[in-house]
Amino acid sequence: MPKLVFRVTGIPLWATASDIEEILLLGEEVKIQRMTITPSCYGDDTQTAIVQFEPSAPKYLEEVVSGSLQDRQISMCGSDINIDKNFYGFTQLYRIEDDAKITADIVAVTGLAGHAFGSWRGKGDFSRMWLQDFFSEDLPSCRTMIYGHNSALFNNGIHQIKDYNLGFIRELTRVRSSILSGSLVKCKELSGSDAAADDIFKSAFATAFFGTPHRGLLVDDILSMTNKMEEERIDLVRSIGGGDNLRDELENFISLAPGLKILSFYEQMKGKRLKKDENGSYSRIGEYFLPVGRESALLNLSPDIETSIPVDADHTNLVKFNTKGDAAYGAIISQLKFFLERLRKKEMENDNKLHKRGTHALG
């Protein structure tokens, strides 16, 4: 089982890696196996660290590990720093060189009951988080971020899809990025009345969908656990199973599609249904089924807008790449590099047009 990863926020800009390590360990007999330090996404003049401990987390984080506490706060020379494992909100995954130009923002958003960091980790020997480990090498000038939201099934939340979309947009206006279809639709609806949302919509260039159930998800196995879920969470699950709201949102998004480049990945392997085991817990030990079929995962748009990519994996493992040699990873990195090159050429063309206008004006 991969080691837990923690996020440390609110770190002062003056703090070095050694300073952060010293304050996090607090003299305990543990080590930091890995630490990545990045700027805060929110422009608040702080740093964020993504940390793995060895052999386990310090004792003061036991309640965070168990889930009885969401986070812990410790003091760092008068600054309060926060430690959590939920990764709610935006988190930048790797640092871009100080003198490098950010060529694009990439935001990765998980679906229902997903974890902002863990959902993207492979299941190989090194549990690679490819958005961090691979993109830092292959897309070093892109600001790659993850977005976390509380969509866990077993809690007392009353969120619905529209609430998640609005929450995402409000966070997004603080970091200026976009990738989620429902939120792009909402940004379009807010155009004219909300300048920040309008700006987000206009700056969106491409989106990648991994097994996204545009026309509904088979949720009967999830609904078999209704005795453990609050009524509001049951309603949330049912809302992604299909129906008029999902159909209307799909139609709204398709109306925006001509202005985007879309990658649609879809699973080619069946996964196992959730089933109660001998201990009374639910795990994927049931019969094989296909939760998101090809007809639901694809938008069926023209090839110049949508690129359809089959993946030799089930729904759970669709975004869990162990190595750069994974065929699906090769597909997405080649497409993203192609998009970035198109953006670069477009920027050059715009710069040339501005230069010519300036020359004519001076003449």
Query: Can you say whether the dihedral through the CA atoms of 206, 211, 217, 220 is positive or negative?
Result: negative
Which pLDDT value is given to residue 355?
56
3-class DSSP assignment, residue 73: strand
Per-residue model confidence as pLDDT tens digits over 7-29: 999 999 999 999 999 999 988 88
User: Of 253, 90, 256, which Cα lies nearest the Cα of 161?
Assistant: 253
In sequence order, the 6+-apart residues with CB closer than 8 A to the CB of 321 are: 122, 128, 130, 134, 328, 329
Residue 182 pLDDT class (50, 70, 90 cuts):
very low
Per-residue model confidence as pLDDT tens digits over 202-259: 567 788 999 988 888 787 877 777 777 777 777 777 777 776 677 777 777 777 667 7
Residue ranges covered by each domain of the chain: 6-84, 89-348
Bridge partners (DSSP) of residue 91 are: 146
CA Rg value for the chain: 22
For residue 72, report the phi and psi dihedrals to the nearest 5 degrees. Answer: -130, 150
- Mean pLDDT for all residues in the chain: 84
55 upstream amide cis, omega within 30 of 0: yes
Which pLDDT value is given to residue 241?
74
Q: How far apart are CA 29 and CA 26, in angstroms?
A: 9
Q: How far apart are CA 152 and CA 133, in angstroms?
A: 26
| Helices (H), ranges, 241-326 | 244-256, 294-297
CATH topology of domain 6-84: Alpha-Beta Plaits (3.30.70)
- State the Cα torsion 353-339-180-151 to the nearest 10°: -140
| CATH of span 89-348 | 3.40.50
User: Of 342, 277, 356, 265, which Cα lies nearest the Cα of 309?
Assistant: 265
3-class DSSP assignment, residue 24: helix
Fold equal for 6-84 and 89-348: no
Tokens of 14: 């003056």
Which pLDDT value is given to residue 111?
83
